[in-house]
Amino acid sequence: MKALNTDKAPAAIGPYSQAIRTAGIVFVSGQLPINPATGQFPEGGIKEQTKQSLENAKAILESEGLSLKNVVKTTVLLHDIADFGPMNEVYGEYFAQPFPARSAFAVRDLPKGALVEIEMIAEAE
């Protein structure tokens, strides 16, 4: 088991790793929409936060020589299910066929008041 860490994504805000690589699989922890350069959420709403969360996860994968093409499953946590459409619009700009499997659901609250959090599972070649 190998812990992955890059300064191109926000540091973990608790006792967990940005990602773990094991047995040819990379498990990317849920990524909040924190800009690693500023430590803040991007200005705007769900679209901007979705983009930042995806960029953070992408940076973690890239630190291991992987890309979003390696992703087989994502989980999207939304503060408000009404944000599903705008989130899905941005999400669709990041993935191509064959799309990864995905679960998306609303939760009561997310850390730091985020509107979205995205985790990924990727196949490591």
pLDDT tens sequence across 51-84: 999 999 999 999 999 999 999 999 999 999 999 9
Element holding 2 (H helix, E strand):
strand 2-4
DSSP 72-88: EEEEEEES-GGGHHHHH
In 3D, which of 94, 4, 97, 98 has the Cα closest to residue 116? 94
Cα–Cα distance for residue pair 63/100, rounded to 1 Å: 20
Note the pLDDT tens digit of each residue in 11-60: 988 899 999 999 999 999 999 999 999 999 999 999 999 999 999 999 99
Residue 1: partners with Cβ closer than 8 Å, 6 or more residues away = 20, 21, 22
> Per-residue pLDDT averaged across 89-95, rounded?
98
Q: Is pLDDT at 5 greater than 80 in this prediction?
A: yes
pLDDT score recorded for residue 13: 83
Q: At 72, phi and psi to the nearest 5?
A: -110, -20
pLDDT at 31: 97
Could you tell me the domains of the chain? 2-123 (3.30.1330.40)
Query: Looking at the predicted structure, is the pLDDT value of residue 125 above 90?
Result: no
